[in-house]
Structure 1
Amino acid sequence: MAEAILGDHDRYSCSICLELLRDPVTIPCGHSYCMSCITECWNTNDQKGTYRCPQCRHTYNSKPPLNRSTILAEIMEQLRSTELQVSESSLAGPGDVACDFCAGEMIKAVKSCLECRASYCEVHLQPHYNVPALKKHKLVKAAVIPVCPKHDKVLEVYCRNDQKCVCMHCLLDDHKGHDTVPSAIERKEKEKKLTDSQTKVKQTLQTKEKELQKMKMDIGSHSDSAKKAVDNSKKVFSELVKLIEKKTIEVIEEIKAQEKADLDQGTKLQKKLEEEIAKLKKRDEVLEDLIQTDDNIQFLQNYESVSSSSGSAKLQSFSFQPYCSFDDVGKLICELTKRLETTCTQEISKTLNKVSDVSAKRPSFDIAVGDRVRVKPSVVTPTHKWGSVTHSSVGVVKKIQGDLLTVDFPEQRNWTGLVSEMQHETSTGSDLSTKNGPVSIKVGDRVRVKPSITTPKHNWGRNVNNKSVGVVKDIKDDDSVVVDFPGHANWKGILAEMELVTNDEEIEPSNLDSNIKVGDKVRVKPSVATPTHKWGAVTHKSIGVVKKVQGDSLTVDFPEQKNWTGIVSEMEIVASAASGLESVIKIGDQVRVKPSVVTPTHKWGAVTHKSIGVVQKIHSSLESLIVDFPEHKKWTGLISEMELVTGADLDDIKVGDSVRVKSSIITPKHNWGGHVTHKSVGIVKDIKSENVIVDFPSHKGWKGILSEMELVNNADADVSGSS
């Protein structure tokens, strides 16, 4: 109704002031005016004695009476009230785009024109629907139209080199010769990727919802099992003497306690899964909003921030795994009815112990599947060894069996440890301040990249790895940090990826920094591109004697330069012959790159951490060596970056085993032959020294070498065979 009244706005306007009638009066010809407007009009009339209607020009010889219209006055009041309400609802609020053509109050715009670079309300938008020249303009949902800050032109093109939107003038200026495409084309490509990401998010969401449903069923079934055990216990023990009734109560209480503990654990997992599903749904909504955006420029500008986490990464799966099966308890209770009264006490104790023993296996500190844990600082060496894990490593509990648990660390998957040797990792993102990152990290502190970080957000850079220790040079407002590492000055990272290095920590155990003392033979580490105090006449091959150690600094006498000053963290002890470190590697040995080496000094080539090769030559400096790998002949590396591969490290391949060619082998030494591929699985028929004879389905009597083969378990063999 408001729209109908406002549509008749002109009908109720005074033809003199062009505003809604105020104190309306009607003259004899039937036209209505504001009392003040018609009075002033007639008082200023040049032709005295005559009065004329401003609209129909009807003339009166005497001043006609001005009759106030009561009904019209009421309509005017209603119209003003309605107009006020409609105008208030149309005002632009916080976050709204205002019409560029409305005078006075800011009216909310409904559309923006990319050609006019202006936004319009419903009223001022009408010419774009009616005027032929304006109909061709591109209208989008009301928004602030981004323009080039340099040329003040509309952004129309996307530069793939610089990953940003630019205007047409930029193509002739800063972006000349760059790979550029229209924004619509780039949006189409990125929208396809975003749609794929959304599909993966939806698939993950469906998987998690199924997990949640299964978990609810498992929890319900477990609860029913517990209730059934309680009911059976009541029925059996009700037929026994008072002594047995007393024991019945004890068993029931133990079962209920165990049920509560299991249900608490299940509820905790269920809550985690529900939170994960909620995050995925929120992520799906964000992706959907971006995909539905009409403005290509807005879409592209928001694409990177929205698409950085697609939700497609492999997520932790949860399942309800109770620590006790009440079916076993029920069987034990039924057996009690067949025993003599004199043995009842003994049997009841056995039943109680059955429940208590399983409960006792519950992880200490209530560690459950899905928790974040680390090895306790008090544990020098875990019972099941470190592997690639350290005290700083933080992983997620994947499985718990009695006193053992399986943890996925970023450095090592499926790591096995003891529950008693682990502790909860309580630090979270809330420990970070909004501006200066971790409260304890400040300019001047010694830091390193956390061991749990596989690849930093801004990449490793030159000679930087998890063991590199540098000094914080600057901390930005966006939580980024600038660090000076010995091998890379002004390295950029983010605070959340860094950790403090205290003076009493062992910085690089493999290099024995903390043991450097006066009299030791040392050299600059291969990972140091340029020492903090510069090279002088010293090189990586120079070996000198430590003359003085003072804090982090040391003085070394090199043959090339006396009293050379360096820092301890940049040096390594040269003690190959004395300590038996690198000197144990000799020509003919099987070696591989150490797991701690992120990138070898002389690069990977076709070699990987899993590659095993034979030493062909060792240079007289005992620093570098030549290795023949199956993937890469005459590969050059540093002895300090290599480790021996003993028989225990190799797969124990024997006649009758199922094997296949390693995925790291591009072409076997004796070639592929027949239809043998990486997926082919065959049976070992004969082994002679390093050579092996394999019967593949497609090639009998195939010849290869042991170091190029890997064992295939039965499950893998079945899959490969079926394929």
Structure 2
Amino acid sequence: MAEAIPRDHDQYSCSICLDLLKDPVTIPCGHSYCMSCINECWNTNDLNGIYRCPQCRHAFKTKPPLNRSTVLAEIMEKLRSTELQVSESAQSLAGPGEIACDFCAGEMIRAVKSCLECRVSYCETHVQPHYNVPALKKHKLVKAAVIPVCPKHDKLLEVYCRTDQKCVCMHCLLDDHKSHDTVPSTIERNEKQIKLTDTQKKVKQIIQAKEKELQKMNMDIASHSDSVKKAVENSKKVFSELAKLIEKKGNEVIEKIKAEEKADLDQGTKLQKTLQEEITELKKREGVLEDLLQTDDNIQFLQNYESVSSSSGTDKLPSFSFQPYCSFEDIRKLICELAGRLETTCTQEISKTITKVSDLSAKRPTIEIVVGDRVRVKPSVVTPTHKWGSVTQFSIGVVKKIQGNLLTVDFPEQRNWTGVVSEMERVTSAGSDSSTKNDPFNIKVGDKVRVKPSVITPKHNWGRNVTHKSVGVVKDIKSDGSVVVDFPGHANWKGILTEMEQVTDDDEIGPSSLDSSIKIGDQVRVKSSVVTPTHKWGAITHKSIGVVKKIQGESLTVDFPEQKNWTGIISEMIVASTGPDILNQSLNVDSNFSEMEIVTIADLVDIKVGDRVRVKSSIITPKHNWGGHVTHKSVGVVKDIKSEDVIVDFPKHKGWKGILSEMELVNDSDTGISGSP
């Protein structure tokens, strides 16, 4: 009987939990669900007295009775039993990036399900009790994954805070997110899934429109190529009948026609490439949207929703069409007219014809290059007339001199480079408009750049501390299209030019002061040379050490033990080292070492063996805990100092261990001190 049961999981899966049906019920419209799933769906959503089928959206004015489908339940049990027998011989070891079963001893067997209630993952064998044991059947099973939990309360994330736009646990609703606008994660996902589905539909429509444009462009280019071929063939036929006297001039006309064809086809090729790249990027985006829509985990869905939900301007992408600027039918007529006058005015008329051929292409918009313009060699030029030298297709230089058809350009790689005006093109200033921002040819040494949002994983990987938000400075551009970038957290990072985009001061994300060695997560303090910080001291001092929480422009936010969310200026701060080796710090190559100083914990806290100390009032709980009878009022004597640790003898607790930065000196003039030895 088991062999006769279809093994299509989709046919026997609940469309709500995406798992095999448990306690299956069939509603009047014919669709089946787990009894607990459909009950939870109808009880959770705001129904306004209307009950809808999650699949066909059929509405019921009253809640339909939910009776267990006995036949379907028996099929489910047999299907699970059959799959268990197969899985016992087919279980595989967990590979890299896969979740292992938490109950398998010895070998790490790949998990297939994770339980949100138990917060553990199971292989095919160990998950079976969740299908058979009544108490476990109510648990929520999802595809094997790392179950996200609240880092503060170590509880399951079940609620979405719309105020802070993050997933939180039930305990968070009682403290940090009290009185915030919160909803169950299922409701938030349902709302955002509708929006994301609409975005996906729009992306698909844009892809279809772009594919139609590409198809029409292919036909236009093919037709234009046929026209050019006919013009060339006609010219060859006419000139073949002429005397040797005009053979040389005839070849010049043919070459001129081909040159114009090449110019038009270069334009068409560039448009094709641009359109194909847009389609590729849109398909990548559709794939990301599809992956997110298919995920089982609501939390993973919500956490990634914001990063992929934006249309990124795809709704208003420009249209392209191939429009050649030369009509070779006119050339054919000119050549026919030339044949009648050729014998007497051969040289003169052919020269006029070549001139008129050039005039036909005058309709193509040209950009006049003047001294001071930023230029590069056109992509259509394989080898410049005066050779490359140290210059490449990616090189961008400034026009220094123009004389006739020749120009002199200063490139970063080569000064006084000589080229031909017709082989060059002007490069608009990066960041002057949105169309040039993403053009990799506009990137030059010294520009601020970051990895494009459309690039999921760079060709040479992310490296250390580099993300989509990281902004770095271009250090070098290679002839093969690779680029070397200095990021604040990773110097000499290697990437691909086409994967990068320029960053302007307006849209820069993360640390804007690229010359600073300070980054988010660093331990910092106010420089000793700063008498009074720009934004005042507040509760901190020169000896206070805090962690950088946020950097915006030249300002930064620091969490100090004495004061949270303290605002300061980057130029007034210094990285606090925990040891004497400053070479281990992530200093920028351009940093001025004369402005830096080596700082150790002992320097920041002027405490030595024999001093009377106590725990700072700002410390709620010491790192190594309070111990038996130690409080904020307890005063003890420093017995030993080992790096960051300190050993103190208190009256009621000898050999107490603490952290040097958590302690403060006690002077004889201090009042209100009890327990002095």
Larger Cα-atom Rg: 1
Q: Please, what TM-score do these two structures have when normalized by structure 1? A: 0.44
Q: Please, what TM-score do these two structures have when normalized by structure 2? A: 0.47
The structure with higher relative contact order (CA 8 Å, sep 6+) is 2
